[in-house]
Structure formats: C-alpha cells, structure tokens
Structure 1
Amino acid sequence: MGENRLVQGRYRLLDLIGRGGMGEVWRARDESLGRHVAVKCLKPLGPCHDPSLTRSLRERFRREARVAAALSHRGVTVVHDFGESDGTPYLVMELLEGRDLSRLLEDNKGHPLPVDDVADIAAQVAAALAYTHRQGVVHRDLKPANIVRLTDGTVKICDFGIARLGHDIGLTARLTGTGVALGTPHYMSPEQIGGGEVDQRSDLYSLGCVLYEIATGAPPFDLEDAWAILIGHRDTPPRPPRDQRPELPGHLERIILDLLAKRPEERPYDARELVRRIRDGHATAGAGTAVGPASQDVSRELRLPSWTGGMTTGHKALGAGLCALPPDPGAALSARWAVAPRRGAGNRAAGHIGPAEARHPEPALPAERTALPAQSAERHREAVRLAALGRWAEAGEAHAAVAAERAALLGPDHPETLAGRHEAAFALLRAGRVAEALTAYADLAETRARVLGADHPDTLAARQETAYALGRLGHHFEAHQVYAEVLAARVRVMGPEHPDTLRCRHNLACTLGRLGRLDDACRTALDVAAARARVLGADHPDTLVSRCEVAYAQGQSGRWEEALRIYLEVAEARARVLGADHPDTLAARYETALSLGRLGRSADALRVYRELIGDRTRVQGPTHPETLRARHGLGVNLGRLGCWEDALTEARDVCLVREQTLGPAHPDTLVSRREVAVALGWLGRWEQALTEYRRITAAREQILGPDHPDTLAGRNDEAHCLERVGRRAEAVELYRRVAVLSRQRASGGR
C-alpha cells in the first residue's frame, strides 16, 4: 500500500498514521462519499515468515473485521467496510478526532489525569464493555492505546484484533497456538497469562490496569522485565492507588482494586455491575479482593505458557514509542491508527450516516498531489476552508477554478480533474444552485462513464448525486428512473447487500414516497432496514435511518400509531448507541412529537416538544433551525388545543428569528409566516391573515414559479381569506386561476 493509491477503486490513501507488527493504517478519503476514513491494511510478511503464521494473522485480521462490524455502540469504533484489494485484506473505519489515553498521559508529562476525567472514562468504557459483552465479544487487549477520547469527550474502544466471540472458541485456540502473543503484558489478566479460561472478567481486569495507570500515572506493575510483569499480575497485590495519589476518592480506589482481583470471581460480576458501582459512587461491600499481603503461595512453580518465553514488555502508556520496540510480528496494532491530528476547524470525525442519509458529506481534505504545483494545492485547501465556513458559493467558484487548472495541467479526464469537478458540483448544491449542480453532475457522470466505465463506483456515485439533485428540483419521476438504474448496476457490481447498494435502495424508497407510492416506499424501506440489520446490526445508525423511512411512509399513509411506535423505538436506540444529545436522537424525538400531534394527542405532543426545545437550545442554541422547528411544532399544537393567542405569539417569535437568521424568503420562514396567518384567521382577524398569505405567495411565486404546488396552495389560502372578508367575486376568480394552473402543470407531466 502506498500514498495516493486507491483501494478497491474507492478509498484513496492520503498519509500513514499508524504502523504495527500486523498492519498499517492510513488516513484515506472515501471517493464515493467524499469523507475521511481510516483504512487498516494487513502488511505482507514476506517469504521468510512461517506460512502458518501468515495464515493465522490473515485470519485474525478478518476476525477483527467481522467482530467489529457486528458492533454498534457510541463507545465502539464504527466499521464502514472491509474486504481484500489485490490480495491484501483491508478494514475501513471511522476516522476519530481525538487522542488515545496513552497520548493523553504523554501530553500530561507523566502526571495522572484529573479525577473527574478518570471517573468519566471509567463510566464510558464500562458502558461500552457492557454492550460488547452482551454481544458475546471479549476484547482481550484493552489498554490505554486502544481507548480513544474524542474532542467532544466521547470515549471509544478500538482494535478488536484478538477479540473472542463467545461461540467461537476454536478459532481462538488456533490463533493462540501459532505463537502470536495475545495481549500486552502491562494489562493482561492472571488467567490470560496462565493460559486459563478467559471471559468478560478478563476485560474488567485490563480496565482496572488502565484506570490504575490514568489515576496514578503508572501501571500497577511498572517493571521493565516482561517476566516480572507477568508474575506481578499473577501473584503480587497491587499497591493501593491512594498511596501514590491521596486525593483519589476512596470509592474509586475500591473500584480499581476490585477490578484487579487475582481471581475472576472476586471481580465485579460483569460490566453492568461495574457501571452501577461507578454510578452509585461506592464499591459493593464484601468484594473480597486481595489487597493485603499475598496469601497465594508465591513460591509455587511458575507455569506460564510457552509463548511468554521470548516476550518483550511492549510499550506502556508512557514507555518508548513504537519505533523503539523490538520487532514483534504478532503485536497488535495500537489504536493510534484510528486517530488523526486536528488539521483545522474544517475537519471532523467521519461518523455514521445522519437522518437525511448524508448523501452530500462535507468535502474532505485531499492527498498532497505531487503532480500539481504547490500553489494549486494551496488553492484547493482554500476552497475546502471556504466550504468548512459554509461559504458555499465562494467554495464552488474556487473548486471550479481548481478543476480548470487541473484540466490544463493533467488533462480533462484525469481522476484529480474529475474529483475537482465533483467537489465543485457539491458546493453548487449546498449553495442552493441545484439546477447548476444537476448539470455539473450529469456532465461528470457522462465523462466518468467514458473514462472509467459505466459501472465504476465513481461513475455510479456521480449518477446517484444526479438523482438526488433531480429530487431536490421536484423531478421525482426522473430521479426514480436514475436511482433504479444505479441500483441495478450496484447490485450487479457490488452485490445486493453492499453498504452503497443499500444506500441507493434507501434513496429509492425515499423517492417512491415522494411519488405517492407509499406502499412501495414502505415495503422497500422495510427490506433495506432488514438487510442493514443483518449486515450492520439492528442498532447501527444506517439501520435506524431506514426504520425512520418506514415510519415516515406509514405516517404519510395515515398509519400514525405504527409510525409512533417505530419513532419511539428509534429514539430509544439512538439515545443508547449515539447518546441522548446526538442530533439523530433529537430528530427521532421530534418525529415522535409530530406523530403524537397527528394522532390528536396534542397535550402529549406539547410535553415532548417542550422537553425537546430545552435540549435543542442547550445543545444547538436558541436560533438553530432544528430548535426553531421544534418551537414551530409547539405552536401548531397550541393551536390544536385552542390556545390561539399563545399559538400566534409563538409563531410570530419563530417567524422573526427565522427571518433574521435564514432570510425572509427561506421556506422555513414562509412556513412560520403561514402559521401566523392561520392563527390570525382562527382569531377572526381575516384582513391581517390575507396580508400575510399574500406575502407568502408572492415570495413562493418568485422563487418556485407560479404553478408550483406550494405557490398554488398559497393562492388557495388567499382565496379562502377573500371569501371570509366578503370579497367573493375576487375569491372565485382566484380559485379559477389556481385550477387552470393546476391543470396546465398536470398536462405538462411535471
């Protein structure tokens, strides 16, 4: 694997960010989705290595992919894809923005982490372990380098390279029999060292070692000789952490020492019990850990597995770097592979697909291009910076200029030129210039088909963006045709359950719903949700997105009870997996409130809206569009309960903020203005309502055209107001004009 190489025709390797005995990891760009990812590749060992070892390492690598891909929890690194490229196994995971605990300690110059941080990390890792253990997965190599704290405070477990599935002990035995050292001495449990039965309580012991180190600054057995470390874990009671750090709370010391009990049965029963102890702030009485003088017969014959004979200590959190260690072909790759340094405000972790299916991810930083002059690379970085600031119009012009320069230097059909055109089209779309973006994507798809082939992933990605732009323009029938063609190609090339295939099928389901084919939309979304549950897991974010599309189709069909049930389940799953404050969790709660209102349960809807408004204000701010959307829903349900004065006040407040932040002609602003008009009508103030309706339709006619459905709906509202104020002749004429325009639109096939 080399810099700027494409893996599987999709993942462009940008720079090496980690290397271990088994593999190396690159920061890469997913060319299909335009996001940064981490690509882990198994390094070839060469002809001088034992073939059985090579086979075992490949098996271990595939095992990591299979195990990690089955897990879906906010405390576990997300796996996007895995496979083989030119005979080399690879694993694609989210690129985490943060630092592992090893680096945090290094940054702290050997000093322990703050007590509050220790407790927070303990709670988050315990919750993640509780989840993985429920799935039957034992990590078996938990250490500071495999635990990452993101910049937002989220803690994630990485690297399941030697994890064991509860039902798959045979494979574990074969891997162990190759002489591959499974685990890192400073963090290995006594039963792991002695070759005994290993279960979830071994992970708890390793977590105890990690917490001991971040709480005191050193692991419990801080020795340089691997043999001495192993004997320490097996036979020597650890020194109480408060001997080294007196300010450490007593209950936290008790938890750490309980985790470090020599016998598994003396540790907390499972991670859920540990979560409870951390939450309660005290250790369970009578844990019976060995914290006094060792009562075990230390002088007994040392019976350590044969693989420990030539074992080195490995690196503890504050030890030598990877380059200073003796070569160890069996060493597990540190979690550093998944962590990239911050490269400016425009970067963020590449995570799961959001509720809108994230069909247009943020532009990712490109690889350094040796074929281009430095000025060109700098101009591209400036375009990306403008995009990160939300200045999409300027970003589009900058990307277009870069693409033109690449065409002159490299040729119009060079992949870098085409990538620049893709970025320029994306910026046009985000700037609201959808028609121009459609033209750009269509031209790009045609060029890629000619240069790369009709079924190349990049060609299909451009065609899928074309379909999305068509949908944005209201051309849902044409969008449906393109999605169907792309889907057939993806099934043929990638298979029916490849993530990209499923994403296309999901988009197709959305389009079917917009075409009014609600039964087909619901059935397709159900199929996608079931397939994603099989491939990714029932709680994977993509699976939950498809379940939301099922609920949407059911709601549009009037089956609001079923929709409400799904939204409640999705909200609960997202809170568990992503966190209560995650935007996707908040979105599911909004849909829950909306469903309650549709069912006539406006009092319940008001309660959910008020709680949601409080959380959105705290997390996203009072003027965030989603906060205002929740306030709009609150006003609607106040009106449904007959509280029209309150509803009018709320609608006017929301309309004012939207006008100031989004602009007077923004669709959300116009929706709020219509709610003002509705409230005025219910209060009998029809002249004022007519004024508002006319402002709305004038704006819609200018933006959408005179025959757009929303414009026509506004004209009907005007006509109704004219009737209410006694101007019947004008109302009849307006109704007639609306009918003519509606027939013309229908006959035009739009």
Structure 2
Amino acid sequence: MSQQRIGDRYELVEELSHGGMGDVWRGYDAVLDRPVAVKLVRQQSVTSPELAEEFAKRFRREARITARIQHSGVPQVYDAVLDDSLERLFLVMELVDGVPLSAYLRNGRPLPVAWAAAVVAQVATVLSYAHDVPAIHRDLKPGNILVARDGTVKVLDFGIAAILRTDVTKLTATGTPIGTYQYMAPEQVRGGRITPQTDLYALGCVLHELLSGRLLFTADSEYAIMFQHVNAAPQPLRELRADVPPPLEELVLHLLRKAPEARPADVQEVYERLRPYLPPPGSEPAPNEAGPDGVPDPTGLFRNPYAPRSRARAEQRPPAGEGQPAAQPVPAPVPGALREEIKEAYAHADALLDEERFAQAAEVLGGVVERAARALGPESRQVLELRTHRAAIQLLGGDYRSALPEFDSLADAYGRTAGPGSEQARACRAQAARCRAELGQVTEALAALEDLLALVRSVDGDVSEEAVELRRDIGMLLLAQGRTIESRHILEPLYDDLCVVFGPDDELTVEIAEALALIRLGLDASSP
C-alpha cells in the first residue's frame, strides 16, 4: 500500500474531488494521527525562478491569512507545504464530512425559502469573520460551500483564487480570469479592484440560484456570460417563482447591483435582512419546507441552536443467551489477490500501531473490509476478523464513539454465526460495554458486564482469564461511581483468587491491591 508522502508528514490516501483549481485528497497526518484534507493547488503561471519565488511568497501569505479566519464555518488550515521544485503546493486542512451545495441543485428544483435563507445566512456569518481579517474569498460558488452532516455550512477554498491570480483578468483578454464566471462580479470580470462587495455579488448569485433552481445568467460561451454580468439586468425572482417574499427578492437584486458601492454595506446587513426567513428556535418544519432527500438540513442550526449532539440510534438486539446460532455459511475461497491485500492491510496496520497511529491503522483495515465483504460475504470469518481488529484499534486509540456500534454489530454477527454464547460474541459484548463506560453510559455498561460475568462463570468458572477481567472491570466501575462498598465486595474476593492463582506480585494482583488500599483509606476517613 504505497502512498505518496507530502513534506515527510502527510500521506495522500484517496482522491476526493478533481477541480479547475486543484485536486482534493483524503490524507493522514502521520505526526498527530488524524485524517486531513490535502489540496494540491494547480498553478500554471510559474515560468521562471523569479516568478517561482514570488509565487511561493504569495502562497505562504495567503495560507497565513486563511489560517487567521477563526470561525467554525472555515475548515481549519493546519499546514502549507511547497515542495522543493516550487511546482507543487499543498494546503493541509480539516477534513469535513458533508455534501457540496451544488448537490442540492442537481435536480433543477429551487430550495424552500427557509433552506435557502439558512444556507446564505450561515455563509454571511462566515464572510463577516473573513472580511474582518481582511480576507476576500474571490470564488464563492455552490461547489465551494459544503453542508456538514449536522447542517452547518462550511466555506471552502479561501485564498486559493488570490494565490492563483494573474494580471490577465479583463473581459477582452485571452487568458482565463480567476474565479468562476457564473458567479463573477462585474469588477472582477473587468480586472478591477476586489473588495468584500465582490463576495456579496457572488452571494447574490448563489441565493438567486437556490431560490430559482437555475443559474443567474446562461449563454453559449463564458465570454457571453461574463458580458451579461457586466451589462445585463438580472431577472427578478418573483417572475420565476411567485412565492418568494418581495423583501427577499429586493435583497437579491440589491446584492446583484453592478457597482460595488451600490450593494449592501456589509454581510451583517445581509444577515439582518435574511433573519425574518430563518426558522425560529424550537420550530418544526412546515410541510412546504421539506428540502431534497438525502442531504443535510441547513435549518437545523436555527431550529435547535446549541443543541447537544444527536443520540446514537440504539439497535434492537435479542437479550443475551437467547436464540440459536444460524447455520454456518459455507466458507468461500479467498481469491489470491484479495488474500494478499488483506495480508498487506494487516501488516500496514500493525506497522502504524507501532507508531501509535491508531486512526490511520483503523482506516487502512476499513479500506479492505468492503471489498472483502463483497467477495466473501459480510459475515464470513475473514470479514468479521477484519472488522474486529479495526474496532479493537479504534478502542485502543480512544475512538469509543466509532468502536461502540461496531462492537455491538459484531456481537450480533458472531451470535448468528457462532452462537450468542460463543467466545467471539462474548468478547465483542465486553468491548462494547467498555466503550459505553468510557462514554459515560456506566449503568448500561455495568449491566452488560454483569450479564456477561454470569454467563462466563457458568461456562468457565470464576478464575478464567475472561472472568477475572470482567470482575476487575465491574469492581473498578463501581469504585469510579463512588459505590465503594459494592466495589469492595467485588474486589476483595478477586484479590484473594489472584493471590492463589497468579501470586501477590502479579501486575493485576498489585493493581487490585492498590484499589483496595484506596477504598480502605476512604472508608477510614468517613468513619466517626
């Protein structure tokens, strides 16, 4: 699994998008063990060492400016890497899981007013922080606006247009202007001075498109569209869609005025004029406010401001010990190429674990799980082992939120294929309980561990390795909850058993002895 490294730190794993200004890759930060987005920025104007030096300075300057925009709606810039040849440059940024706004417009249908207002109001908020730096986007468009899974809007590619700017930007020039012509302000087409009002014009183009379901201007050539931005009057929204409120139509027309000074004073004014169309806190969507299927709802931020994280959906599972194992599937032969890929994935993950790069190790195994499941079946032995190994790595790395549902799912799968009382099913249920404990779900964790301990005792007795671990976990959880008497009743007999089986100097025996010493100190302190 050879992967290209950037600056001896970042690895390019998978290409996410391919665009005119650059390619975006899913990457990994080998130092901090976290996924990142790596943007390879294209540049075609460097034709001499002098231009290369200027380009390098511009790149670093704009990257620093972007990093100063302190708002959650701008993916954080972690690093800027320019290779020794000055031919390739990379921005290393926060990786955001979301849907580009362009996906909301693919069916040609307009968005509900509340959805359009919610998107543009959030973009306006981001721009208010950027313009205060000051930083001007220069290329605002639906493809550079991402709606994260929780409905929050992220504005991408700040500073990229400035990094790539050239002196050839006029309408009559043969070169390609920096920016996207469907959203380009008249002064940008002419090659005039760029100001925050340039971003406001592009914001007006975006709002017009969200509410009408069509581009502001269309023509057979880029030149013709740019000509319209300079000279043609936009079609009022209410001629395209009668239910658009008149004040909202007026706002769009105000944003789209040809002269920068004739547009709204700033994005704060734009936000205030959008406020009446934003859903109030606590409100539920009306029937006519349903947006496209399969994309995040950008109104949620306004309906439930500062809401806690959504609860994970609990899967319905049969109680422990119920049901019979399903018939064992006939093992499918593993194709030679897939066998080598799985072997290589394990080796790569183990090497990453040696460097404590847990997140990347889990991602490496995840990359082969889907292919193995298609070839061998989702509940084949090899696939379940890969998933179990990946979940264990997530647990080791402290990613309990990801590991918990995987261990729950694996416990069910092993219950179906090997039986609910099988060693594999029991191990996954125990790991799921440990994840719950780490996430603060202590009551559920204790109940699961106690059920498991009863099952293990009935099969292997009280001093098997599995039973000892469960007794230790239960006693320590009770102690952490301040239930010292109950904890003492668990840990004292465990200590006696450990002294007999493993001896008083065993590492686990010493751990339990120290816990009991703390309990006794606490009890003595509370005695009269």
Q: Select the residue among 196, 202, 219 that pairs with 1:223.
A: 219
| CA distance 1:159–1:704, shift in 2 (3 Å) | farther
Unpaired runs of 5+ residues, structure 1, are 166-170, 283-340, 342-371, 386-391, 403-422, 433-464, 469-622, 629-653, 678-690, 725-750
Alignment partners' CA distance in 2, 1:52 and 1:84: 16
**TM-score normalised by length of structure 1:** 0.42
- 2: CA distance, partners of 1:229 / 1:22: 20
In the TM superposition, residue 128 of structure 1 has moved relative to its aligned partner by 0.6
Q: Residues 672 and 39 (structure 1 numbering): CA distance in 2 closer, same or farther, change over 3 Å?
A: closer
Mapped to 2, the partners of 1:120 and 1:382 lie a distance apart of 45
Paired AA for residue 145 in structure 1: G
Q: Which has the larger helix fraction?
A: 1
| Displacement of 1:697 | 5.4
- Cα distance in 2 between the residues matched to 1:180 and 1:3: 36
Pair 1:707–1:671, CA change in 2 (3 A): closer
Distance 1:671 1:430 in 2: 25
Deviation at 1:669, TM superposition (A): 3.5
Question: Which residue of 182, 186, 193 maps to 2:189?
Answer: 193
Give, in angstroms, the shift of residue 126 of structure 1.
0.8
TM-score (norm 2): 0.58
One-letter amino acid of the structure 1 residue matched with residue 489 of structure 2: R
* Structure 2 portions without partners, runs of 5+: 279-294, 296-335, 350-357, 369-386, 399-434, 451-470, 499-507
From the superposition, tell whether residues 89 and 110 of structure 1 become closer, same or farther in structure 2 (CA, over 3 Å): same
Aligned mate of 1:202, from 182, 198, 201: 198
Deviation at 1:271, TM superposition (A): 1.4
**What secondary structure is seen at the aligned counterpart in 1 of 2:97?**
strand
**Superposed displacement of residue 667, structure 1:** 7.9
2:135–2:159: 8 Å Cα contact kept in structure 1?
Answer: no
Q: Deviation of residue 260 (structure 1)? A: 1.3
Q: Which residue of 1 aligns with 2:108?
A: 110
Distance 1:138 1:431, change over 3 A: closer
Distance in 1 separating the partners of 2:343 and 2:114 = 44
Aligned residue number for residue 144 of structure 1: 142
Report how far residue 218 of structure 1 moved: 1.6
Check if 1:715 corresponds to 2:520. yes
Q: CA deviation at 1:209?
A: 0.3
User: Equivalent pairs: percent with the same residue?
Assistant: 35
Q: May I ask how many residue pairs the two structures share in their alignment?
A: 368
Conserved? CA contact 1:670–1:696, under 8 Å: no
Q: Which residue of 1 aligns with 2:270?
A: 274
CA distance in 2, matches of 1:71, 1:382: 40
Q: Take 2:2 and 2:177, find their aligned partners in 1: how far apart are those partners?
A: 30
**Structure 2 matches for 1:613-692, cutoff 5 A?**
656-657=443-444, 659-660=446-447, 665=473, 669-671=477-479, 673-674=481-482, 691-692=485-486
SS at match of 1:248: coil
Q: Give distance in 2, aligned partners of 1:263 and 1:138.
A: 17
Matched-pair contact (CA < 8 Å) for 1:105–1:111: yes
Letter paired with 1:206: A
Return the offset for 1:157: 0.9
Find the counterpart in structure 1 of residue 379 from structure 2: none
Distance 1:384 1:222, change over 3 A: farther
On the 8 A contact 1:142/1:203 being kept in 2, the answer is yes
Q: Is the Cα–Cα contact under 8 Å of residues 251 and 281 in structure 1 kept in the other structure?
A: no
Deviation track 1:134-189 (CA, whole Å, cap 9, x = no partner) reads 11111111111111122332211111245669xxxxx9786869966222221112
Counterpart AA for 1:89: L
- Contact 1:76 1:157 (C-alpha < 8 Å) held by counterparts: yes
- Secondary structure in 2 matching 1:705: helix
The 8 Å contact of residues 72 and 154 in structure 2, kept in 1 or not, is answered as: yes
Deviation at 1:20, TM superposition (A): 4.2
- Structure 2 partner of 1:694: 488
2:98 corresponds in structure 1 to 98
Residue in 2 aligned with 1:594?
Answer: none
Q: Per-residue CA shift, 1:417-447, capped at 9, x if unaligned?
A: xxxxxx9999767556xxxxxxxxxxxxxxx
AA paired with 2:127? L
Q: Which whole-Å deviations, capped at 9, do the CAs of 1:679-725 have from their partners, x for residues lacking one?
A: xxxxxxxxxxxx4463375499686735765442211123346x44x
SS in structure 2 of the partner of residue 18 of structure 1: strand
Q: Aligned partners of 2:347, 2:59: CA distance in 1, in Å?
A: 38
Counterpart residue number, 2:73: 75
**What does the per-residue CA deviation read over 1:480-499, in whole Å, with 9 as the maximum and x for residues that have no partner?**
xxxxxxxxxxxxxxxxxxxx
1:119 positional shift? 1.7
Matches of 1:239 and 1:116, distance apart in 2: 21
**Distance of aligned partners of 1:704 and 1:670 in 2 relative to their CA distance in 1, 3 Å threshold:** farther
Post-superposition CA distance 1:540-585 (Å, at most 9, x none): xxxxxxxxxxxxxxxxxxxxxxxxxxxxxxxxxxxxxxxxxxxxxx
Q: Residue deviations 1:601-660, cap 9 Å, x none?
A: xxxxxxxxxxxxxxxxxxxxxx976885xxxxxxxxxxxxxxxxxxxxxxxxx8644523
